[in-house]
Amino acid sequence: MKLVLLLLVCLAAQTAAAQTFPVIHKKAFWTDGRGDLILTGEAIEFRAAGKEKNGRKWPYADIQSLDRVSTKELVILTYEDHKRELGRDREFRFLLTEGEIGDELFEALRARLKKPATDRVVPEIATPIYEVAVKHLHAVGGCEGRLLFTENTAVYKTSHKQDSREWRLDTDVESAWSRDLYHLEIHAFENNRWEFSRTRVYSFVLKEPLDGEFYRGLKMKLYGLAQDRDSVR
């Protein structure tokens, strides 16, 4: 009886550790695939329906970054070369047809990944330590929103959901820079596939002057966090 109970406990633990979501594998210029996305403590696996050869399994060490586009969409950036895109690192985009990637689950994935991640599902911040209305400059045009800071995060909140971001200062932000009172750049550890770069610059035009004391404090904080990151390499 004790052996049966032990086996049941182990089975329950394994079941709790793995979460399975039916998904659509989105493919540019190709027919989308379907299957299951399985999230465990050791790896993320895609089991393709009907085409086993299209399946993949990535231990977290083999994943460069994760991008939570929404609670229903997850992008996995791998180290695999994409031959049709001139050797750019290949990414896999999955759309959940059931369930969602909530905050708790995404935080667990980030902890297992131990690398910077992109989160476009931004939280409500009741009491930011600093907030300013901005325009985010794109390659062409831009979008408007608000830039908010807490002790540990920077958040860009906009009605253009694809452009919203939450960055952790300790893991996701390399630096911040301002050339004058009305401009602020966030240099984030984010895959920039078109420039073959591991960082991306988010350039904001501020609608009111940047607070100098806050900016100096932010620079000092990021400098200290950068020193901490370098010390563990």
Measured at the CA of 65, the angle between CA 224 and CA 143, to 5 degrees, comes to 80
DSSP code of residue 159:
S
Measured at the CA of 181, the angle between CA 177 and CA 183, to 5 degrees, comes to 50
pLDDT score recorded for residue 177: 97
Tell me the C-alpha distance between 29 and 62, whole Å.
Answer: 25
Token pair belonging to 96: 């959940």
pLDDT at 20 over 90: yes
Q: For the chain, first and last CA: distance in Å?
A: 49
pLDDT in tens, 62-105: 999 999 999 999 999 999 887 766 667 889 999 999 999 999 99
pLDDT score recorded for residue 33: 92
* pLDDT, greater one: 6 or 193: 193
Q: What kind of architecture, by CATH, is found in domain 16-119?
A: Roll (2.30)
Residue 222: Cβ-neighbour burial (10 angstroms; 0-12, 13-18, 19+): buried
pLDDT in tens, 126-177: 899 999 999 999 989 999 999 999 999 999 999 998 899 999 999 999 999 9
At 81, the amino acid letter reads: D
Beta bridge partners of 166: 119, 155
pLDDT band at 12 (very low <50, low <70, confident <90, very high): very low
* pLDDT, greater one: 78 or 4: 78
Range list for CATH 2.30.29.30 in the chain: 16-119, 130-231
The average confidence (pLDDT) of the chain is 88
At which residue do the structure tokens 């608000």 appear? 146
pLDDT at 230 over 80: no
Task: Provide the pairing of β-strand 63-70 with 118-119.
Answer: parallel
What does pTM read for this prediction?
A: 0.82
Please check whether residue 64 is in contact with residue 77, taking contact to mean a CB–CB distance below 8 angstroms: yes
- CATH class of domain segment(s) 130-231: mainly beta
